[in-house]
């Protein structure tokens, strides 16, 4: 697994305005995203899930995606342990799922997935949430430092999608719905 060199300190510091977290959040919140649940099956732990909108397709050939995870999130350790992860792309009907996997007070361990319909990914064992728009199973192929997050690059092992077109979105710090008729 590759590990990127550190960013030179001068570049990492950024513009003073960008260090105002409130303003930075406001500005970045203008970038609308879909919403996923990233899941992992840490080698010595129960499956774990976390709501994530910092998900990005990276490359078609080879097929690569990335997800950014806070270094202090339980998910961070779960992905490093299992060296794999799965991504479930949520539909408009799954806002409660997004809220559940973002809630720090949800149960962890064996009971975390009790209230969720899911199936284990065939390649990774990581949970794939049922009823999603699309899903991917990934092998962890690189970890890059990204400040208070790590950037996990995943090599796509398997994937699937439904015919649904109703995407749950995140914009301006809130959930939104995209209902699209076209396929």
Binding residues for ligand FMN, rule: CB under 6 A, are: 35, 50-54, 68-70, 73-75, 98, 102, 104, 170
Q: Is the peptide bond before 9 cis (omega within 30 degrees of 0)?
A: no
* CA atoms 134, 138, 141, 143: torsion sign: positive
Number of other residues whose CB lies within 10 A of the CB of residue 77: 16
Please identify, using beta-carbon distances, which residue of 70 and 164 lies nearer to ligand FMN.
Answer: 70
Please identify, using beta-carbon distances, which residue of 98 and 143 lies nearer to ligand FMN.
Answer: 98
Please identify, using beta-carbon distances, which residue of 40 and 182 lies nearer to ligand FMN.
Answer: 40
Chain residue whose CB lies nearest ligand FMN: 54
Number of other residues whose CB lies within 10 A of the CB of residue 126: 27
Q: Find the angle CA(175)-CA(157)-CA(66) to the nearest 5 degrees.
A: 45
Kindly state the smallest distance separating residue 170's Cβ from ligand FMN, in Å. Answer: 4
Tell me how far CA of residue 132 lies from CA of 13, 84, 96, 104, in angstroms: 38, 20, 13, 22
Kindly state the smallest distance separating residue 140's Cβ from ligand FMN, in Å. Answer: 15
Kindly state the smallest distance separating residue 154's Cβ from ligand FMN, in Å. Answer: 14
Q: Which two tokens stand for residue 159?
A: 């994937």
Please identify, using beta-carbon distances, which residue of 64 and 175 lies nearer to ligand FMN.
Answer: 175
Please identify, using beta-carbon distances, which residue of 149 and 165 lies nearer to ligand FMN.
Answer: 149
Kindly state the smallest distance separating residue 177's Cβ from ligand FMN, in Å. Answer: 14
Cβ–Cβ < 8 Å for 38, 101: no
**CA–CA distance, 183 with 172 (Å, rounded to integer):** 27
Kindly state the smallest distance separating residue 52's Cβ from ligand FMN, in Å. Answer: 3
């Amino acid at each position: 697994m590759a590990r990127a060199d550190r960013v030179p300190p001068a570049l990492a510091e950024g513009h003073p305005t960008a260090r105002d977290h409130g303003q930075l959040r406001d500005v970045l919140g203008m970038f609308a995203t879909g919403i996923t649940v990233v899941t992992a099956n840490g080698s010595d732990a129960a499956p774990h899930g976390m709501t994530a909108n910092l998900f990005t397709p990276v490359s078609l050939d080879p097929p690569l995606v990335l997800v950014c995870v806070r270094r202090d999130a339980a998910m961070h350790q779960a992905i490093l342990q299992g060296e794999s992860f799965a991504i479930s792309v949520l539909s408009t009907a799954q806002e409660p799922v997004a809220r559940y996997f973002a809630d720090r007070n949800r149960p962890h361990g064996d009971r975390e997935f009790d209230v969720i319909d899911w199936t284990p990914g065939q390649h990774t064992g990581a949970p794939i949430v049922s009823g999603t728009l699309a899903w991917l199973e990934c092998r962890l192929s690189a970890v890059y430092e990204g400040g208070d997050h790590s950037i996990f690059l995943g090599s796509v092992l398997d994937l699937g999608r439904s015919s649904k077109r109703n995407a749950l979105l995140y914009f301006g710090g809130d959930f939104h719905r995209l209902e699209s008729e076209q396929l």
